[in-house]
Amino acid sequence: MANDPIHQFQISKIVPIEIGGIDFSFTNASLFMVATVACAAGFLYFATSQRGLIPGRSQSVAEMSYEFIAGMLREGAGSHGMKFFPLVFSLFMFVLTANMLGMFPYFFTVTSQIIVTFALALLVIGTVLVYGFYKHGLHFLQLFVPSGVPGALLPLVVAIEIISFLSRPVSLSVRLFANMLAGHITLKVFAGFVASLGSLGALGIGGAVLPLIMTVALTGLEFLVAFLQAYVFAVLTCMYLNDAVHPGGH
Amino acid sequence: MFVTSAYAQTAPAAPETPAAPGTAPAGDTHAAPAGEVHTETGVAHEGEHGGGTFPPFDATHFPSQILWLVITFGLFYLLMKKVIVPRVGGILEHRHDRIAQDLDEAARLKSEADTAVETYEKELAAARSKAHNIAETAREAAKTKAAADRAAIEAELAEKLTAAETSIGEIKAKAFAQVGQIAEETASAIVDQLIGGKANGDDIKAAVAAAKTEA
């Protein structure tokens, strides 16, 4: 039971809340959402509170993450896309902090819940749709009609474009969710081998060295994945927002 | 393969303990009121999906997850939009402005220095030409003055020469005028010596005058 690799994703209620027969309890997932926001916002707030002309170490990190996302968004969606900067920056910092907090043993990984990543993906796609139709009206539908396609192929291409657009929230959410879930399960399984082999005596302890090395290597890999998935989420968000800003041109 | 074996460990374990795997059994055995919460979730699992529901796909937690995500991420977004992004943007812009301002200042100082050097060189050239002019003028003046002085001195000398020549002429004329008398006196003295008596003055005079005219 101690080796159950799924147990880490179990949600347990801390403060039970029920409104209209629906369960809105404050759970361990909620607790780590709060922790994520507190860590990310607290760091950014205190790191930049000096407003130094010459930045200190933590202010540099805050400025670097700001410029990192700003550059990404400007490259992906042009200068018109910069109005979405707070959204992309919040998404990146939230996902990154949640992923990184998840790397602590016994901590809950907020982004390993499909509903959380799906809600974030829907937020992105919803923003694209709302802004696209608000800004361009029905011209936004040009997004699905690439220019320079022969008339006979057009229905097929439009159908493919619509399907690919609809699959975006799914791929965006499943990519993040699956990466975090799979990584944490793998880590837990290999770490579990260390414990169960170690309890078998001298030979087992010798054999446990291999999964231990594997666990250490995987931990490093998982830190990379934690950053990379936050980065990928932000890059794709920028690309999708580009469709809302410039639906015609590619 | 490792994952499936791990799964196999838990799969048979689930039916043995009716409650959800993990903390639920502990809660059951220890305290009933505290355990209730856990058993509720456990029952919900079993009721809807059976014992082996994969937690991330357990729909009973979806409303709570969405609600708390909306609350926490909404707050985070507001904080980013209202405080952090303007602040960091302000810091970066301020630094950018400051650097641009410093560069401008440096360019201004450089151009100022260039102008100063140019002015200095111009003034130096002007002073040099002025000094040259002054020297030239002084030389000219000295030359003219020297020429004038020389002319004046020469004129004076010439005058003095003329005066001297005149006076020499006068002296000469005077001397020549006295020559007759001296010759008469000398001749009378010589005659007196020679003849031992007084010679006639008129004769001597005539003789001297004759000698003079002969000479």
| Segments of A83-188 assigned E as strands | none
Classified as helix, coil or strand, A22 is strand
Question: B82: nearest CA in chain A?
Answer: A86
- Asked if residue B151 belongs to a domain, the reply is no
Domain ranges of chain A: 13-245
How far is residue A146's CA from residue A149's CA, in Å, rounded to a whole number?
7
Domain assignment present for B107: no
Q: In the predicted model, what is the mean pLDDT of residues B32-52?
A: 41
Q: Does B8 touch chain A (CB under 8 A)?
A: no
Q: Is residue B106, in this structure, part of any structural domain at all?
A: no
Within a domain: residue B190? yes
For B70, name the nearest residue in chain A, comparing CA atoms only. A119
In a domain, B135, yes or no: no
Residue A9: its pLDDT value, please?
A: 86
Note down the domain range covering B177: 172-214
**Window from A14-18, B166-170, B209-213 with minimum mean pLDDT:** B209-213
CB A234 within 8 A of CB A92: yes
Q: Which residue from A155, A149, A199, A153 is spatially nearest to A3, judged by alpha carbons?
A: A199
Question: How does pLDDT run across A219-233, given as a tens digit for each residue?
Answer: 999 999 999 999 999
Interface test with B, best of A19, A23, A97 (most B CBs within 10 A): A23
Residues B56-82 pLDDT 10s: 888 888 888 999 999 999 999 999 999
pLDDT given for residue A96 in this prediction: 96
- Start-to-end C-alpha separation, chain A: 53
CB contact under 8 A, B69 and A86: no
For strand A18-19 and strand A22-23, is the pairing parallel, antiparallel, or unpaired? antiparallel
CA–CA dist B81, A43 (Å, integer) = 15
pLDDT of residue B132: 95
Domain assignment of residue B201, yes or no? yes
**B19: contact with A, CB 8 A cutoff:** no
Six-digit token string for A248: 């015609």
pLDDT at residue B2 tops 70: no
Say yes or no to pLDDT of A1 above 80.
no
A134-182 pLDDT, tens per residue?
988 888 888 888 877 788 888 898 999 899 999 999 999 999 999 999 9
pLDDT(A55) > 80: yes
* Residue whose C-alpha is closest to residue A114's, from B69, B51, B38: B69
Max Cα–Cα distance, chain B, nearest Å = 205
A183, closest residue in chain B (CA to CA): B3
The span from the CA of B36 to the CA of A70, in Å, is 49
pLDDT at residue B52, as a whole number: 61
Residue B74 touches partner A, C-beta closer than 8 Å: no
Question: For residue A71, which amino acid is it?
Answer: G
Residues of B whose CB is below 8 A from A93 = 76, 80
Contacts of residue B123, Cβ cutoff 8 Å, sequence gap at least 6: none
Whether B192 is covered by a domain: the verdict is yes
Better-scored residue on pLDDT, B144 or B18:
B144
Residue with tokens 């992004």: B85
Looking at residue B35, its pLDDT comes to 38
- Check if the beta carbon of residue A234 is closer than 8 Å to that of residue A72: yes
- The tokens of B41 are what? 């979730």
- For A26, phi then psi, to 5°, come to -80, 110
- The gap between the terminal CA atoms of chain B, to the nearest Å, is 170
Place of tokens 């229905």: A155
Inform me whether the pLDDT recorded for B45 exceeds 80: no
Alpha helices, H only, B31-84: 32-49, 62-79
In a domain, B200, yes or no: yes
Q: What is the pLDDT of residue B34?
A: 39
CB atoms within 10 A of CB A52: 13
Distance between CA A218 and CA A92 in Å, rounded? 23
Q: What is the pLDDT of residue B51?
A: 46
Least confident of B20-34, B48-62, B181-195: B20-34
> What phi, psi does A20 have (nearest 5°)?
60, 35
- Domains in chain B: how many in total? 1
Q: Which residues of A touch B60 (CB under 8 A)?
A: 23
CA torsion, ordered A57, A62, A63, A69, to nearest 10 deg: 140
Of the residues A7, A12, A215, the best mutation for testing chain B's interface (the one with the most B CB atoms within 10 Å of its CB) is A12
